[in-house]
Structure formats: C-alpha cells, structure tokens
Amino acid sequence: MLFPDYRPRRLRQSSAFRRMIRETRLSVDDLILPIFAVGGKNVKNPIPSMPGQYQLSIDNIVKLAKTTHDLGIPGIILFGLPDNKDALGTGAYAKNGIVQQAVKAVKNSQPDLAVITDVCLCQYTDHGHCGIVEGNTVDNDASLDLIARTALSHCHAGADMVAPSDMMDGRVSEIRNLLDENNFSRIPIMSYAAKYCSAYYGPFREAADSAPQFGDRRTYQMDPANAIEAIRETTMDIEEGADIIMVKPALAYLDVINRIREEIDLPVAAYNVSGEYAMIKAAEQMGWLDGKKVMLETLTAIKRAGADIILTYFAIETAGILMEK
C-alpha cells in the first residue's frame, strides 16, 4: 500500500478516529503501587530523590490504601524499613515485622485490595545484601531458607501474593514448596525473574535504605548487556512454580519485556523503577518537559512492549488522569 492510494493520515485527523484504531490502551487495571513502610505513627518522610513519594507509617499506609482502592488500582506492593538490622535479616521474617504489620492493617481496612509483598533480605541486613554473607560472598543456598521463611511470614500475616526479588537461584521452588507445605498453595508467586543490576535503582536504595555496604550485586542480579539469559531465568522460575514473572527495570529493557512476552504464556509484569520515575519528575520540575504526558507515554510504551502489569510510583497520578477520561 503506497501513497496516494494509502493515506495513513486519514485515520489520524480526529480524536474519535485515533481512539477507534488505538492498538494499546493503558488501564488502571494494569497498575500496582509500591509503598515503603516504616515504624511509628503519623510518619510521612519525603524521599528527596523521588518527589511525591514517602516512607509511611502504617496509619498513613492505611489511608493511602483507601485512596488506591477508591481510584480502582487493584493492588499495592509493600517494602519494609525495620527499626533494627542484623547479619541474618531477622526483621524480614519476624512475626511482628514492619511488613507483616502493614499487611494486616491494610487487609483489615481494604480487604478487596490485593496486597503483594516484596520478599528479600536487603532492607533487613546490616550489610545490605539480598542474602546471607559468608566472608565477602553472598551464599546462595544458605539464603534460600530465610527467603522462603520471609514469604511464609507474609502469608501468615494475610498477603495475597509474594514477590521474591533477591535473585538467588532456586528461591522460587523453595518458596513454593514451603507455602504448599503450610496450606498456602493458593498464594501466587510473582517472581522478579529478570532483574538487572541497574543504575536506575539509586533512588530506591535511598527510599528503602538498602544499599550494599560493600561490593555490589553483580554476582546475583543480571548483566544489563544480556537478553537471552533473561529467557533462561524466566523459564527456570516458571518451572519452579512462578505464576507471574517480572522484568526490572522496565524502560531500558523494553526489548526484554517484548522477547519474554513472545516466549511465555504467563502474565508478564514490569517494574517502572525509581530512577525512571525520578528522571521524569526532575525534568518536570526544571520545566524541560510535560511530566504528565511523558509519564503516560512511558507507561504506554511499557504496556505496548508486552507488560500485563506495571509496578509504578506513578500509579496514583496515572489513575487520576485515566478516571477523568
């Protein structure tokens, strides 16, 4: 089809036509809101590198959960900042840990809101790594039991879904087996299957106080140069029992999202991470771009690449705009 027989502009000339032929539609149903939980009461600590985002005490999380539910956003994902840290990350799987308390409070307040929990040790260990450290090495196999115990403790608190983000080999099967043995076979696992060792996580590490105290996470998070490896990681997690797989970050890895979408028939999630959020907010504050338009364009691109679910700090703002349309 060539000009002048085919004129693509014919179907772009009105808003009605553009709406009729739109291929990708961003919906509030696609969104999950990440939330950072801290101890205390009436706490709302601004996160400087993430304008509009906060570390929240549980009473304020309950208020935010109501707003989230009222906007039609189907779920939240909780990250915890404990009062104390140690080498074994015991706060991660403590019965009365910060995430466990937050889960109970949100489910009591908004039972229809899906509460997902991030399952990792990095926020709870004094060394800041995602597993147990022996010398200067993260011991993969020694970490699995504690990671699985963390997931189980979240389920006992009432979590609707667990999301392991540690990138230890074998952690999905360890979690699945332990949950099944404890009558939580109904709880799905959303695995951070292709989680890259990315510079885009900087603001998150400030928000969650989770920066490693030595070295980095290159020995367990993926090399940003690799895409075929993401298929292997994803396939492994599916075979171990993952129900949803995730790519993180999203914006710089749209090709990976697309390749995985074409390879698998499970739901695909993508995490629009803190650095992606911070760049848009910073440029918006400088007057360099229209923040709302870039936000919607970015999320639409993630959806267009193949993501069924988008974890994003823009969830509240986006849902408000979509409700107006």
Q: What is the pLDDT of residues 33-48, one digit of tens each?
A: 999 999 999 999 999 9
CATH of residue 203's domain is 3.20.20.70
Q: Establish if 71 belongs to a structural domain.
A: yes
Is the predicted pLDDT of residue 160 greater than 90, yes or no?
A: yes
List of residues 6+ apart from 168 with CB closer than 8 A: 130, 131, 138, 140, 143, 144, 147, 220
Contact 278, 238 (CB under 8 A): no
Residue 215 falls inside a structural domain: yes
d(CA 152, CA 97): 13
CA distances from 262 to 114, 156, 234, 253, 321 (A): 27, 35, 12, 14, 30
Q: Tell whether the model's pLDDT for residue 207 goes beyond 90.
A: no
Q: Are 77 and 58 in contact (CB under 8 A)?
A: no
Q: Does residue 47 contact residue 53 with C-beta atoms inside 8 Å? A: yes
pLDDT, tens digit (0-9, with 9 covering 90-100), for 57-87 = 999 999 999 999 999 999 999 999 999 999 8
- What's the average model confidence in pLDDT over 171-180? 98
The reply to whether 96 falls in a domain is: yes
pLDDT at 40: 97
* pLDDT given at position 75: 98
Name the nearest CA neighbour of 79 among 220, 244, 271. Answer: 271
pLDDT for res 137: 86
Q: Which two tokens stand for residue 272?
A: 């629009």
Work out the average pLDDT over 221-237. 96
Does the structure show a pLDDT above 70 at 219?
A: yes
Q: Is 195 a catalytic residue?
A: yes
Spatial contact of 115 and 103, defined as CB atoms under 8 Å apart? yes
Q: How many Cβ atoms from other residues are within 10 Å of residue 90's Cβ?
A: 18
At 144, is the pLDDT very low, low, confident or very high (cuts 50, 70, 90)?
A: very high
- Tell whether 1 is covered by a domain: no
| Domain total in the chain | 1
Q: How far apart are CA 155 and CA 140, in angstroms?
A: 23
User: What average pLDDT does this structure show over 134-139?
Assistant: 86
Confidence of residue 215 (pLDDT cuts 50, 70, 90): low
Give the pLDDT score at 100: 98
Q: Which of 195, 292, 293, 303 is catalytic?
A: 195
Q: Is residue 6 part of a domain?
A: no
Q: Does the active-site annotation cover 248?
A: yes
Nearest alpha carbon to residue 64 among 22, 33, 103, 23: 33
- Whether 4 is covered by a domain: the verdict is no
Q: Are strands 75-80 and 31-38 parallel, antiparallel or unpaired?
A: parallel
Question: Residue 8: inside a domain, yes or no?
Answer: no
Q: Is there a domain that residue 2 lies in? A: no
Residue in 244, 241, 199, 245 with CA at minimum distance from that of residue 223: 199
pLDDT value at residue 214: 67
Tokens of 89: 């990350």
Print the domain residue range for 224.
Answer: 13-324
Catalytic-role residue among 248, 281, 292, 293: 248
Residues 243, 260: Cα–Cα separation, whole Å: 14
